[in-house]
């Protein structure tokens, strides 16, 4: 099996190590609608895309909760960078793919950039093998990616093949050269995420480059016992919490110098103190809830037992609560700042826009509270992505 050495620092050092480069290129990324190559190079060199990769490939192999905590720390510096780090951290796939596939993907070094999308295309099987077709919108990091992990619905005689949980879906790993990337990311927020559209037209996919969401890992260690879908769905919530915390920090800095009509700094007003206090408390609760529920999945994997539907459903509820709380915190800090946030130079104004854009992600929809409620009551989740 192909191997790479470990990096000489811990993953927890990354936010401090990467902060100078992220801040240097933050505005350029916003203007270019993608992360500049020098910043991507820094992210790769420091192992930002190895958070969940196996140790044999030079990966950190972090527990899922630790990865979410780290991504939240990066989001405090910049939401777009954290979003790219989240969407291109697919080293975990090496534990599920064959050694032949791993050698193919990782042959160029320990940091292959693999973007993923859970919008389903169509996967057809014939005598020659599998072929993938479809259009995947909002694929973050699309132009920078060297590989794509795209979800496909297995078709059988023109209809989706069904399982007990719904359509039979598979992750298909395909090279950048086999798909087309269309420049559709002309957005008002999270501009640096390069979230363009990927199109596949009857792309051949090798059998050993296809992974079922509930497949057992080839490498049997705790991280790889956590279902892939549970690993890929929590990053958006962590990023939202990080941006909301940064908004609180920016608002505190602002009210220390901004004065009211009485000439006194806003930080001296009880009303302002109460708003900041409530936001801090709510955000802390949401962060603890998210990391605790994800930590339960990590603990189950360490004990070598399958997490229950109720435990996985609790995570889904935590995602909803994180998004709901972050939206409220971002709005309260925006309101607190008054007209200061209207200027292009306002960091708080950008956080408000980026945060609300991130909260639009489907996995963060309050509709998922229903699934959390069903599983809490012992009812079947009936969700193949759970």
Residue 250 located in a structural domain: yes
- Asked whether residue 46 carries a pLDDT value surpassing 90, the answer given is yes
Are 101 and 128 in a shared domain? no
Q: Is residue 221 part of a domain?
A: no
pTM score: 0.96
pLDDT above 90: residue 128: no
State whether 121 and 91 are in the same domain: no
Task: List the CATH number of the domain containing 55.
Answer: 1.10.540.10
**pLDDT score for 58:** 98
Same domain, 239 and 349: yes
pLDDT attached to residue 263: 86
Among 31-40, 152-161, 198-207, which is the least confidently predicted range? 152-161
Q: In three state form, how does the secondary structure of the chain look? A: CCCECCCCCCHHHHHHHHHHHHHHHHHHHHHHCCCCHHHHHHHHHCCCCCCCCCCCECCCCCCHHHHHHHHHHHHHHCHHHHHHHHHCCCHHHHHCCCHHHHHHHCCCCCCCCEEEEEEEEEEEEECCEEEEEEEEEEECCCCCCCEEEEEEEEEECCEECEECCEECEEEEEEEHHHCEEECCCCCCCCHHHCCEEEEEEEEEECHHHEECCCCCCCCCCHHHHCCHHHHHCCHHHHHHHHHHHHHHHHHHHHHHHCECCCCCEHHHCHHHHHHHHHHHHHHHHHHHHHHHHHHHHHHHHHCCCCCCHHHHHHHHHHHHHHHHHHHHHHHHHHHHHHHHHHCCCCHHHHHHHHHHHHCCCHHHCHHHHHHHHHHHCCCCCCCCCC
385 — pLDDT class (breaks 50, 70, 90) = confident
pLDDT at 127 over 90: no
Q: Does residue 89 share a domain with residue 139?
A: no
The residue segments making up the domain with residue 15 are 11-105
> Where does a domain end: 57, 81, 105?
105
pLDDT for 358 equals 97
Please report whether residue 339 resides in a domain.
yes
Confidence of residue 148 (pLDDT cuts 50, 70, 90): very high
Shared domain for 244 and 358, answered yes or no, is yes
Give the model's pLDDT for residue 36. 98
Average pLDDT over residues 310-315: 98
333 and 242 co-located in one domain: yes
pLDDT digits (tens, 9 = 90+) for 318-346: 999 999 999 999 999 999 999 999 999 99
217 in a structural domain: no
Span 94-121, pLDDT tens digits: 999 999 999 999 999 999 999 999 899 9
Whether residues 299 and 171 fall in one domain: no
Do 43 and 94 share a domain, yes or no? yes
- Indicate whether 191 and 278 sit together in one domain: no
Say whether both 39 and 78 belong to one domain.
Answer: yes
| Per-residue pLDDT, 166 | 85
Tell me how many domains the chain contains. Answer: 3
> Is 1's pLDDT higher than 80?
no
Q: What pLDDT, on a 0 to 100 scale, did the predictor assign at position 51?
A: 98
Q: pLDDT digit string (tens) for 253-272?
A: 999 999 988 888 999 999 99
């Amino acid at each position: 099996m192909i191997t790479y050495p470990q990096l000489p620092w811990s993953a927890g050092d990354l936010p401090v190590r990467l902060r100078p480069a992220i801040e240097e290129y933050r505005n350029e990324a916003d203007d270019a609608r993608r992360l500049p190559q020098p910043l991507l190079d820094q992210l790769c060199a420091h192992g930002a895309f190895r958070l969940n990769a196996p140790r044999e490939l030079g990966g950190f192999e972090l527990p899922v909760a630790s990865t979410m905590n780290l991504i939240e720390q990066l989001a405090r510096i910049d939401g777009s960078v954290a979003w790219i780090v989240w969407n291109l951290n697919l080293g975990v796939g090496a534990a599920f793919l064959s050694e032949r596939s791993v050698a193919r993907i990782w042959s160029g070094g320990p940091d292959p950039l693999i973007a993923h999308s859970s919008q389903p295309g169509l996967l057809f099987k014939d005598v020659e093998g599998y072929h993938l077709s479809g259009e995947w919108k909002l694929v973050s990091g699309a132009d920078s990616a060297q590989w794509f992990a795209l979800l496909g619905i297995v078709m059988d005689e023109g209809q989706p093949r069904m399982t007990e949980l719904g359509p039979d879906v598979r992750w298909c790993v395909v090279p950048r050269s086999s798909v087309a990337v269309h420049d559709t990311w002309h957005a008002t927020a999270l501009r640096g995420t390069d979230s363009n559209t990927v199109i596949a037209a009857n792309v051949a996919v090798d059998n050993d480059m296809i992974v079922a969401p509930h497949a057992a890992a080839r490498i049997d260690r705790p991280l790889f016992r956590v279902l892939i879908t549970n690993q890929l769905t929590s990053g958006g919530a962590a990023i939202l919490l990080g941006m909301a915390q940064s908004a609180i920090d920016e608002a505190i800095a602002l009210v220390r110098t901004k004065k009211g009509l009485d000439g006194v700094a806003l930080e001296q007003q009880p009303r302002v103190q109460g708003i900041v206090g409530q936001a801090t408390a709510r955000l802390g609760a949401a962060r603890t809830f998210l990391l605790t529920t994800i930590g339960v999945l990590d603990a189950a994997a360490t004990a070598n037992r399958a997490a229950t539907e109720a435990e996985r459903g609790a995570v889904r509820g935590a995602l909803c609560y994180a998004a709901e709380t972050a939206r409220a915190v971002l709005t309260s800090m925006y309101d607190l700042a008054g007209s200061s946030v209207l200027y292009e130079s306002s960091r708080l104004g950008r956080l408000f826009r980026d945060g609300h854009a991130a909260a639009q992600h489907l996995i963060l929809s309050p509709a998922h509270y229903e699934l959390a409620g069903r599983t809490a009551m012992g009812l079947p989740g009936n969700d193949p992505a759970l």
